């Protein structure tokens, strides 16, 4: 079974994270939410508290995909986390899938992982996608990188991850179950 890690930082965008986790789990992907500050609970940008499955210091393996939800100040905390940056870069360098939505593609840009890639993000963060060809699309897949615009693109974001890890037919079936 393919494994996915979703990194939760205080101030993450709850719907981007939880919609993605929900759809990935519906696709039978082994999806684990990690608290990057090693707490059991993480409060999002709209004051919704979520219990993480595990703490970042418990992470001891590589995944088929790592996911960075957006939101503020969650994206700032992701960018400031040496551990998250190292894990994202390691996954990228091993040609594993790296996915970021909303403001979080800026983390990939700051890590210089978008050089020569097509990408998208929440409007206003385009200048932080260093080296990327920025597209005005809900979700963009380019090689082992998936980016998406924001909450309104969470379904397309999860669809792209499922398509990359399993196949489009499975992704289409999962999305159909939510009457999107």
Instruction: Please identify which of the residues 15, 65, 102, 121 carries the catalytic annotation.
Output: 102
102 catalytic? Reply is: yes
Q: Is 86 exposed, middle or buried (0-12, 13-18, 19+ CB in 10 A)?
A: exposed
- Number of C-beta neighbours around residue 25 at 10 A: 13
Cα gap 58→13, rounded to integer Å = 23
Alpha carbons 138 and 101: distance in angstroms, whole number: 10
- Integer-rounded Cα Rg, in Å, for the chain is 14
DSSP state letters, 38-107: S-SEEE-TTS-EEE-SEEGGG--S--SEEEE---TTHHHHHHH-HHHHHHHHHHHHTT-EEEEETTTHHH
Q: In angstroms, what CA-CA distances link 149 with 27, 60, 155, 178?
A: 22, 30, 11, 20
CA distance 96 to 93: 7
Active site residues: 102
């Amino acid at each position: 079974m393919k494994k996915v890690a979703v990194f939760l930082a205080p101030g993450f965008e709850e719907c981007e994270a939880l919609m993605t986790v929900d759809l990935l789990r519906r696709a039978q992907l082994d999806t684990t939410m990690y608290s990057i500050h090693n707490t059991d609970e993480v409060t999002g940008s709209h004051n919704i508290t979520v219990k993480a499955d595990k703490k970042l210091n418990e992470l001891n393996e590589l995944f088929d995909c790592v996911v960075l939800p957006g939101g503020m100040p969650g994206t700032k905390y992701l960018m400031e986390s040496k551990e998250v940056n190292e894990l994202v870069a390691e996954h990228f360098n091993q040609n594993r899938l790296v996915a970021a939505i909303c403001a979080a593609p800026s983390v990939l840009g700051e890590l210089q992982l978008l050089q020569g890639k097509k990408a998208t993000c929440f409007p206003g963060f385009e200048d932080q996608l260093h080296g990327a060809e920025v597209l005005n699309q809900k979700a963009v897949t380019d090689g082992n990188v998936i980016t998406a615009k924001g909450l309104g693109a969470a379904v397309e974001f999860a669809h792209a991850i499922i398509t990359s890890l399993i196949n489009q037919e499975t992704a289409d079936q999962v999305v159909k179950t939510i009457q999107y």
